A and B are shown apart, each in its own frame.
Chain A
Amino acid sequence: KAGVTQTPRYLIKTRGQQVTLSCSPISGHRSVSWYQQTPGQGLQFLFEYFSETQRNKGNFPGRFSGRQFSNSRSEMNVSTLELGDSALYLCASSSGGAGTEAFFGQGTRLTVV
């Protein structure tokens, strides 16, 4: 069974640009959550999508947005990039039940210069 796939693995962008990251969950999983991981703040929750609807949202500015497609694949977009957006962005896949465990992808390392 294939795991969670995130693309691309690495990105370098310039301040002010926008970026789109992609996540394909485990087959049959309907929930995709996105996290930002930095050395100073640890893993912080961005948002969760379930069956194409945003179900939960963390405390991030509106520059961070996402969506989920009918095949459960999800994209995350960050507009007007800032230096502080440099981080490892992780997506987690779960079946979507209220208490089920989450499985992570390898992440996309975004560097903003």
Chain B
Amino acid sequence: QKEVEQDPGPLSVPEGAIVSLNCTYSNSAFQYFMWYRQYSRKGPELLMYTYSSGNKEDGRFTAQVDKSSKYISLFIRDSQPSDSATYLCAMKEYGQNFVFGPGTRLSVLP
């Protein structure tokens, strides 16, 4: 079992839909959780950063962390074609390196 699991997709949704992206993990010591967006042939861009459990909202993006279930989510409201990209979750223990999920490819169709 991989440390971080993520549905690779591709996930196709119509413009304006609410998108839900998810990751599960096995290491209960993970405390820091991030979501990155990566366009083709570009480096990952940090979208959301969350410490421990709870919700965080930034514009159209909401990140949720449920440490009891070892499950994190990223919601995108009013999705746009420009949101089409690969979304990577990442997490880490205190003082350790990041562990990334394999990424979910998202296509938002106009």
Binding between chains A and B: yes
| A90: contacting residue among B43, B96, B101, CB under 8 A | B43
Chain A interface residue bracket vs B: 20 to 34
Closest 6 CB pairs of A and B: A104-B43, A43-B100, A101-B49, A98-B95, A42-B102, A106-B43
Verify A99–B92 contact, CB threshold 8 A: yes
Q: List 30 A-B contacts (CB under 8 A).
A: A4-B43, A33-B97, A33-B98, A42-B101, A42-B102, A43-B44, A43-B90, A45-B97, A45-B98, A45-B99, A48-B97, A56-B96, A56-B97, A58-B97, A90-B43, A90-B44, A98-B94, A98-B95, A101-B32, A101-B34, A102-B46, A102-B98, A104-B36, A104-B43, A104-B44, A104-B45, A105-B43, A106-B43, A107-B42, A107-B43
Closest A residue to B50 by beta carbon equals A101
Closest A residue to B34 by beta carbon equals A101
Decide yes or no whether A103 CB sits under 8 A from chain B.
yes
Interface residues of B (CB under 8 A from A): 31-32, 34, 36, 41-46, 49, 51, 88, 90, 92, 94-103
**What separation, in Å, do the CA atoms of A6 and B44 have in the docked complex?**
13
Judged by DSSP, the binding face of A is strand
Q: How many cross-chain pairs have Cβ atoms below 8 Å apart between A and B? A: 49
Residue interface bits A27-57, CB-to-B below 8 A is 1, else 0: 0000001010000001101001000000010
What chain A residues lie within 8 Å of B94 (beta carbons)? 98-99
> Shortest Cβ distance from B2 into chain A, in angstroms?
9
> Shortest Cβ distance from B49 into chain A, in angstroms?
4
Give residues 1-35 of A contacting B (CB, 8 Å): 4, 6, 33, 35
> Shortest Cβ distance from B5 into chain A, in angstroms?
11
| B46: contacting residue among A42, A48, A101, CB under 8 A | A101
Verify A42–B100 contact, CB threshold 8 A: yes
**What separation, in Å, do the CA atoms of A102 and B45 have in the docked complex?**
9
Determine which residue in A42, A106, A107 has the highest number of CB atoms from chain B within 10 A of its CB, and name it. Answer: A42
**What separation, in Å, do the CA atoms of A12 and B41 have in the docked complex?**
16
What chain A residues lie within 8 Å of B99 (beta carbons)? 45
